[in-house]
Every structure is written in C-alpha cells, then in structure tokens.
Amino acid sequence: MSDGASSRRKRPSSVLSVRSVVGQMFVLQIAVVVLLAVGAVLMLALTTQSLSTRAADNQSLAVAQGFASSPGLARIVKSPHPTAALQPRIDEARKGSGVDFLGVLNRDGIYYALSSRAGRPGTHTATDMTPLLAGRTVREQGVGSLGPQIRAYVPIKEPNGAVVGAVGAGITVEHVSAVVTAQLPAILGTAAGAVVITTGGAAVLSRRLLRQTRGLGPAEITRMYEHNDAVLHSVREGVLIIGGDGQLLLANDEARRLLDLPTDAERRHVTTLGLEPPLAELLISGRRATDEVHLAGDRLLAVNVRPTAPYGGGAGSAVTLRDTTELRALAGRAEAARERLQLLYDAGVRIGTTLDVARTAQELAEVAVPRFADVVTVDLLEPVLRGDEPSEGSTAMRRAAVSGVRQNSPFPPVGELVTLAPGTPTASDVASGQAVLEADLRTADHWQAQHPERARQILDYGVHSLITVPLRARGVVLGLADFWRAETPEAFGEEDRSFAEELAARAAVAIDNARRYTHERTMAVALQRSLLPQGLPQVSALELSHRYLPSQEGVGGDWFDVIPLPGARVALVVGDVVGHGVHAVATMGRLRTAVHNFSALDIAPDELLAHLDELVARIDADEAAEEDGQQITGATCLYAIYDPVSGACTIARAGHFGPALVQPDGTVAFPDTPVSPPLGLGGTLPFETAALRLPEGSRLALFTDGLLEDRNRDLDTSLDLLRQALSHPDHTPEQTCQAVIDALLPERPLDDVVLLIARTRLLNSDQVADWDIPSDPEAVSRVRAGVTRQLETWGLDHLAFTAELIVSELVTNAIRYGAQPIRLRLLYDSSNLICEVADDSNTSPHLRRAKATDEGGRGLFLIAQLARRWGTRYTAHGKIIWAEQALHDEAAEPDTDLADVLLGQWDE
C-alpha cells in the first residue's frame, strides 16, 4: 500500500485534533456547552433558594395567622395562668405545621408558651413589638436561639380590636438550605446530561463534515478545483449549474457565449437573465430533458437537463447546451408553434372580458386577425343572442361579429340573418360539431352552391381559403366561426384546422358564459321592472319625470316611488338595496311594498324610516338563520313629503345621498339634510328630519349613488356635473332628466341608476278655505251653510249635498269627542275636493256596523259610502280626520240613493 493511500486512510482518525479546523470547532462547542451548563446550574440553584425562602416566609405567616385566629385565644392570654393552657396547644400545632418554632407572646414580648428546640416559655423576644401593638403583622429575617431564621408575628386581637399579645412562627435558614440541597442532584444530573448530549451531537456533526470533505486537505481541494475549472472553460459545450432555488451557480465560457449572459450572471435567478421564457422555464423546472430544442436569441440550442441530487449533489440541475444553428428550418417551425401558443394565450386573456354575448363574439374575431386569418366572421343562433338556450335543429343565425384587415368587404354586416343550406356537407359537418376545411374555395362547389352571388363576390375580394368551426359548449352548438384568408398566400392546412378548433372551443365557453349571464340578467331586469312603478301617478302638487337604468354588470336593488297622500300631499321615495342580482331585486320589492304600507299610516318620514329599519333587521336575522349568516341585506333610503298648500317639504334619509334643490332662477344647492345610518345596521340613534320651504316652480332631484359614483372621476367632479345639468330653469322635468343622464352616465353604467325630478306647484289661496269651529253644536248648521257658499263659488254645486253630510258628521264628532281648537279646511285641487277637520285630541274614530237598537255609530259608515277615501292622520298637537270626494265620481252625485245606504244599516 502506498504512503499516499495510507495517509488518506489515517486522516479521518485525526479529525478531532486541535490542529484541524474540525477539531477546533469541536473544542469550542464543548467549551460553550460547559459554560452554559454551569450558568444554568447556578441560576437554578439561586432560583430554588429564592423560591424556598419565599415559601418558608409564606408558611410561617400562614401558621402564625392560623393560630392567632383560633377561637378563645385572646381570652386564654388574658387569663391568670395562660402558659398551662397554651403550651400543649403550641407543641401540637408546631408538630403539624412544619415550622421550627411557634410561640405566644404577651404585650411585653415575653413568651407565654413556646415550642422550640432551643427555647422555653418566659424567654423575651428580640422582635420590635411596636408594630404588633399597633395591630400590624411583622415578617422578618433575623437571628434567634435556633440561628438565622425566617419568621412572622401576628397580633392577637380581642373582638373590639384591642391587641392582647402576638403569635410568632419561624423556619430556620438551615431548613431552607436543606430543601435546596435536596434538589441539587437533579439539577446537576440534568446539566451533565445536556453536556453529554451536546458533546455527542458535536462529534456527529464533525464526522459529517469530514465525510463531506472526503478527507482531503486544503491543497488537494485547491488542485481539484483548478483542474475542474480548466476543464469547464476548455470544452466547446455550454455547462450550467442551477440551484434548487432557481439561481445560476456556475456557467462556463461557452454557456455565457451561447446565452449572451451578463458578467454578473452567477448568483442571479434564471428568470432575470433575459432568456426566452420557455428556456428559462425549463431551466428552473427541475425536470429531465434530453436534446430539447429552444431558441436563444438567433441561435437554436439543444438542451440537456439532469438533476444533481441523485449523484450526491444538492438540489438543483446540471445543464448542457449545444449550438444547432444549422437546423434553421426546425427553428422556423418552433417559432410558428410558439406564435400559435402565444395566440392561444392572448385569446384566453382577451376573449370574455365582458359578459356581453355580441362583444365576446367580436373579441374572438379581433384576436384572430391578422395573426391567424385575414377575415373572421362569427354567426350566432338567435336564441343565444337573446340569452336563451338554443333549440335543437335551429339553423337561423345572425351575424354577431366581423373583423378584417381591409374595409368594404363583401361579407354580410353585423345583424344580418345568415342561414346554411340544409343537406349540404357544410351543414352536416356543423351539425355534428366538426370543423370544415376548404383549402381552395375556387374548387369548393358545395360552398359556392349555398349563395352563388355572394360566393362570387367573396372570391373576387381575394379570399381563397376557409375554415368553418362550430362554436360548441356543453355539447350544444351556439353558432359558427369562419376564418378566411385573402392577403396571406398560404392556404389553411390540417394543423390550422386543429388550431382553429382549439381557438373556437375557448371562445365558445366565454360566449356560453355570457349567454347564461344575459339570460339571468334579463330575468332580473324583468323582475326589477315589474316591481318598479309602471307609471307615475297624476298628482296636482308636482310635475314629475324619472329614469331607471339597470347596470350592465348586474341588476341591483335601486327603486323609487311617488305615493299620493291625504291633503293633496305627495311622498317621494328613492332607495337602494346593497348588492346585485335576483336577491337584491326581491329585497327591493319587499321594501317598496313595506314603504307603501307604512305610507298608508300617514306617519312622519323619520318614523317611517325607523319602521323600515326594523324590517331590514328582521330580514337579515331570518336570512342569517337560514343561510348560516352568509347574507346581509342592508339598504339606503330617502323619504320626503311635499305639501302643496304650504310648500313645506319634510325629508329624512338613511345612508342615502341628499337631494339637489333647483330654485326657480336655476340656482342649484344641496340642502343640508341630516343623514342617519343605513337601514339594517341596528343602530340606536333616532332618524332625523329636515324641513325645507320650496317656492313654486322649484325642482327637487332625488337619485341613487349610481348616478354620481364613477371609477374615472371623484365625487366632487360628479356633483359639479350634476349642478351644471340641473341649472337650466327653462327645462321641463323630462328635459332635465335627459340632460342629467347625458352629462353623468357612461354608455355602460356599472351600477343601477334612479333619477326622479319633481317640479313643485302650490295651491292658490282661493283653492283653500278654512273655518274655526267653536265647541257649540249649533255651529254645525252655520258651518254647513258656509261650505255650501264656498262650493258655489268654486262651481261645485253638484257636490254640495254630499259635502254637507261629510262636513256635518266630521264637525259634529269633533265637537262631541274632540278638543279645542277645532278647525275645518276645504281643499280644491284639479281632481279632488278634500275635507279636513283638525282638533287637539288623540282619539281616533273607528268604522263599525251599528246594531238596530243603537242610536248612533252610523256617521263614519255614511262617510265611507259617500267619500272616495277617508282616514285619520296624527299631528304634533292632535289629529286630522279627512275625506276625499272625486270631482267627477258618479258615486258622489246628489242622486245617490242615500236612503238605501241608511236603511241597509238596519238589515241583519
């Protein structure tokens, strides 16, 4: 055996020598571990000493307190012979408590009884008795007859609080140290075990380091590195070493030349070196590769990749590169394949950006021109364009998209009906879902036979090749995509047909998604429109106009309402339910119905919003119980009541935009109306109202947030645009609506929009008549006469008889059951005669059927028969009972058979 081999075999045995780096590391680790172990032992000993001392202190205090609080101790201390009674108890208590001494002292500090190895009764304590006589407990460390001690003294008190003596208990420091000493073996054993384990671990790590260096010394490792480096840089094949984290660890000169790597390429991630994406992806993938061809600039490289881990190296790959530039033709095919893959990727990104069927079809046409075809046409079945499921066997299609490299093409425009002649090979292939390739259209007789004239125009246009691909999704044909070539001289081939099928398949999925969305949106829009007012009511107080525009992204829960109220007043409502879709629409319908029902109660706007808030909270609670809390409703609402007699407008809003007010001169303002939290948040704050006085001819604009919120502008800009659109005093409400929509909304709004414009009117003073009524039954006849004269002035003689009956009954009830002041008011608008009787009583009349023996109870029944509507509304100081008569209602004419009405009350 040679000396070199012998020295190599002996080197591992001397690895732990202090002359080697491994040995020095081993010694350092052992020294650190020993120091840590010694420190840990000292810390544990000190900690145990501290804890034992604290425990001894607490134990002494507890024993002293326990004995001092024993029943009758104060009485025994004050007895003539306390030692005889206390000494046996003291001895017994000390044995069971674990303390080293226990005794009872008098006020002078002399032990009446003492249980100790070195003391006896009569001994004087060295402890200061002053705090004990003051009633305080003493805890101290001192030296007594037993040596250093930890002791506690507790005063003995009579029931009245007087101190008659003290109880002392203590434990010697020697006792405490014995506890610590008992724990030292365990502490030292633990430290020794830690040293042994760490020493063994250090030895194992040192041995492993020895194996990794394979026993080579520094000089041998240096020579091996220089030899390998020379080999790497002399070979004419590129070599790369890639780490498991994707970093380039090594690159020889040839690899740098082939890949045109920067000088600082090493230790950089492969993806930052400017390589072609497919090549960079291969290098970091870690998979095996054998002679895979990849482009690198203008070179075509054969790449081999092998993982290094199976051969003893770390995680990573060894890569070799060969320049195969002579295979330029193969590079062309690879480039074409790469372009096709890139086109498919672009199609996945660009097709289906919206959920609009026609737009998705147009995106398919645009993405394929000019990179694959010179002209692309897309035809869809008519049900697909409407969002419906296509029926089986349907062949009627409409042109949905056209895109070409030249204008004025002979192809049918968008929207034209397109049909395939039945029985032709093309129709049969399409019905079966097969793509049709016509490499040379001049020889395709069956294609020319379908539309001879149009085929001639297409051929004259220069088109020479065609691929027709059915658009199929879920096994259903949605339409056709036609790819035409005119400018490109090469005809379509089989590979092109396969690619067209792949492109069409991706587009068909996007078109079907858009169709299904269109179907759902159409249903939601239909539901939304059916739940919204079909028309605005005719009211004399306001001139109205409105707009409702559903969003393109999904129908929301915006709604509006105009509700006639008693006294010629009108309620204006605008609201918005959070979210989109059928759920938001259904919730909107529930809230709109609730607003109508609450409006029938004729309550103030703030009270109505409070009731609506409770309803939304209940809806949330019910849906949370059914759907595990996944659905939260939430809504905003603005409710306003306008009175044309006074011009007053009372407004309350819950989380909603406030109104815009346009003065008769065109000045636009946004009144400061208090805003309350949105509905359904369960807040405890009351809803607030704002009272506005609107001149005749002013305009009130109510709207939802979709009118102002836009991702391309801020809110202040939107408010300025709204102000400019409203500031035209000569515009009618209808013209104002259109001006606002044109100024603020894009072609495809992203949220629902509701806009309600109301121009105010006031009743003239000669359309209102009122009387103060005294609490005198004889005043009823005078009031009837005054009403008759007023109706004659208004030209309403035909209503006088019925109006007198209504006024007589209401005024009589107010005098009999109401409270002063009592006031009668007649309102005459364009369609109604309204009678109102107000008083300061909160009692409300109720309609009932009187019995045959009753002398009263028929007045409200008569009013209900003669008036079109009647009811009660409450005010801040009382109530108003009102009744409406239609000016042209035949039921209210004087020739009504009132006798039958009256006699009917006695019919059983």
Instruction: Indicate if the pLDDT at residue 889 is higher than 60.
Output: no
Question: At 152, is the pLDDT very low, low, confident or very high (cuts 50, 70, 90)?
Answer: confident
Of residues 528 and 405, the one with the higher pLDDT is 405
> Based on the number of CB atoms within 10 Å of its own CB, is 88 exposed (0-12), middle (13-18) or buried (19 or more)?
exposed
What are 889's two structure tokens? 């209602």
* Least confident piece of the model among 92-101, 134-143, 425-434: 425-434
Question: Looking at residues 680-684, what average pLDDT do you find?
Answer: 71
Instruction: Indicate if the pLDDT at residue 333 is higher than 70.
Output: no
For residue 698, give the nearest of 659, 672, 724 by alpha carbon.
659
Give the best-scoring range by mean pLDDT among 398-412, 468-482, 562-576: 562-576
What are 904's two structure tokens? 């009917």
CA pair distance 493, 497, nearest whole angstrom? 6
The pLDDT, as a whole number, for residue 648 is 94
Question: At 274, is the pLDDT very low, low, confident or very high (cuts 50, 70, 90)?
Answer: confident
Q: Phi, psi at residue 886, to the nearest 5°? A: -75, 140
Question: At 280, is the pLDDT very low, low, confident or very high (cuts 50, 70, 90)?
Answer: confident
The pLDDT, as a whole number, for residue 270 is 86
The counts of H helices and E strands in the chain are: 24, 32
Question: At 159, is the pLDDT very low, low, confident or very high (cuts 50, 70, 90)?
Answer: confident
| SS3 assignment, position 588 | helix
The pLDDT, as a whole number, for residue 8 is 40
Bridging pattern class, strands 556-564 and 635-643: unpaired
Cβ(694)–Cβ(759) below 8 Å = no
Cβ(355)–Cβ(524) below 8 Å = no
CA pair distance 841, 607, nearest whole angstrom? 20
What are 218's two structure tokens? 């520094």
Cβ(642)–Cβ(606) below 8 Å = no
What are 779's two structure tokens? 């005043």
Determine the distance from the C-alpha atom of residue 524 to the mean position of all C-alpha atoms in its chain, rounded to a whole number: 23
- Sign of the CA dihedral with 213 first, then 219, 223, and 225 last: positive
Instruction: Indicate if the pLDDT at residue 830 is higher than 50.
Output: yes
Query: In terms of pTM, does the model score above 0.75?
Result: no
CA pair distance 105, 811, nearest whole angstrom? 99
What are 448's two structure tokens? 């020319």
The pLDDT, as a whole number, for residue 719 is 92
Alpha carbons within 13 angstroms on the beta-carbon side of residue 583 total 12
Q: Phi, psi at residue 447, to the nearest 5°? A: -70, -40
Task: Name residue, tokens 């379509």.
Answer: 492
Cβ(368)–Cβ(351) below 8 Å = no
CA pair distance 239, 157, nearest whole angstrom? 96
Question: At 891, is the pLDDT very low, low, confident or very high (cuts 50, 70, 90)?
Answer: very low
Residues 6+ apart with CB under 8 A from 223: none
The pLDDT, as a whole number, for residue 553 is 66
How does pLDDT run across 600-609, given as a tens digit for each residue? 888 999 999 9
Residue 517: other Cβ atoms inside 10 A = 17
Give the best-scoring range by mean pLDDT among 400-409, 485-494, 728-737: 728-737
Checking phi first, is residue 246 left (phi over 0); if not, alpha (psi -120 to 50) or beta? left
| Beta strand extents in 276-421 (DSSP E only) | 289-296, 299-307, 316-323, 375-381, 397-404, 417-418
Cβ(111)–Cβ(83) below 8 Å = no
Helix, strand, coil fractions of the chain, as percent rounded to 5: 45, 25, 30
Q: b/e map of 111-122 (b: 16 or more CB within 10 Å)? A: bbbbbbeebebe
The pLDDT, as a whole number, for residue 5 is 39
The CA angle 778-781-782, to the nearest 5 degrees, is: 95
Residues 6+ apart with CB under 8 A from 371: 339, 343
The pLDDT, as a whole number, for residue 249 is 83
* Average model confidence (pLDDT) across the chain: 80
For residue 790, give the nearest of 838, 826, 762 by alpha carbon.
826
Cβ(768)–Cβ(760) below 8 Å = no
Residue 179: other Cβ atoms inside 10 A = 16
Check residue 647 and report its DSSP letter.
Answer: T
The pLDDT, as a whole number, for residue 421 is 65
Q: H helices within 745-883, ranges in order?
A: 779-794, 800-817, 859-866
What are 179's two structure tokens? 């506890």
Question: At 734, is the pLDDT very low, low, confident or very high (cuts 50, 70, 90)?
Answer: very high
Question: At 880, is the pLDDT very low, low, confident or very high (cuts 50, 70, 90)?
Answer: confident
The pLDDT, as a whole number, for residue 182 is 65
Residue 507: other Cβ atoms inside 10 A = 28
Helix (H) or strand (E) run with residue 665 in it: none
Question: Looking at residues 327-341, what average pLDDT do you find?
Answer: 65
Instruction: Indicate if the pLDDT at residue 443 is higher than 90.
Output: no
Q: CA-based Rg of the chain, rounded to a whole angstrom?
A: 50
Question: Looking at residues 202-225, what average pLDDT do you find?
Answer: 63
Q: Edge-to-edge strand order for the sheet containing 417-418? A: 417-418, 397-404, 375-381, 476-485, 465-473, 436-438
Of residues 50 and 792, the one with the higher pLDDT is 792
For residue 658, give the nearest of 673, 669, 648 by alpha carbon.
673
How does pLDDT run across 362-393, given as a tens digit for each residue? 999 898 888 888 999 999 988 888 888 887 76
Alpha carbons within 13 angstroms on the beta-carbon side of residue 408 total 2
Instruction: Indicate if the pLDDT at residue 217 is higher than 60.
Output: no
Cβ(576)–Cβ(636) below 8 Å = yes
Report the DSSP beta bridge partners of residue 404: 375
- Sign of the CA dihedral with 499 first, then 502, 507, and 512 last: positive
What are 114's two structure tokens? 């003492």
The pLDDT, as a whole number, for residue 698 is 94
Checking phi first, is residue 759 left (phi over 0); if not, alpha (psi -120 to 50) or beta? beta
Give the best-scoring range by mean pLDDT among 193-197, 210-214, 526-530, 750-754: 750-754
Write a three-state SS string for 469-520: EEEEECCEEEEEEEEEECCCCCCCCHHHHHHHHHHHHHHHHHHHHHHHHHHH
Cis peptide before 774 (omega within 30 of 0): no
The pLDDT, as a whole number, for residue 906 is 45
Bridging pattern class, strands 768-773 and 753-760: unpaired
For residue 87, give the nearest of 62, 48, 122 by alpha carbon.
122
Cβ(163)–Cβ(156) below 8 Å = yes
CA pair distance 382, 515, nearest whole angstrom? 11
Cis peptide before 821 (omega within 30 of 0): yes
How does pLDDT run across 243-252, given as a tens digit for each residue? 888 888 888 8
Checking phi first, is residue 380 left (phi over 0); if not, alpha (psi -120 to 50) or beta? beta
